[in-house]
Amino acid sequence: MIPFILKDLCVLCGKCVEVCPTQAIVLEKNGIYINEEFCEECGYCASVCLYNAINISFPLSTNKI
């Protein structure tokens, strides 16, 4: 799943940019964004974010036990 950024929590520290292996995260003056075309969905960005500003939504299972 492609991570998404909660812009009101992001402090633009750039840690996610540093760890992104494909350079899919871009930091600009007006904010940060993830280029979905390059994202490999590794989750490194979410794991290093100290402010919980990057999240990954996993679909709910529809399997019944």
The CATH number covering residue 25 comes to 3.30.70.20
In a domain, 64, yes or no: no
In a domain, 60, yes or no: no
Check residue 59 and give its pLDDT. Answer: 77
In a domain, 16, yes or no: yes
Check residue 64 and give its pLDDT. Answer: 65
In a domain, 32, yes or no: yes
CA dist 26 and 34 (Å) reads 6
In a domain, 25, yes or no: yes
From first to last of the 65 residues of the chain, give the pLDDT tens digit: 899 999 999 999 999 999 999 999 999 888 899 999 999 999 999 999 999 999 998 777 666 66
In a domain, 39, yes or no: yes
Model's pTM, two decimal places? 0.81
Contact between 53 and 6 under an 8 Å Cβ cutoff? The reply is yes
In a domain, 10, yes or no: yes
Check residue 1 and give its pLDDT. Answer: 86
Check residue 50 and give its pLDDT. Answer: 96
Check residue 61 and give its pLDDT. Answer: 67
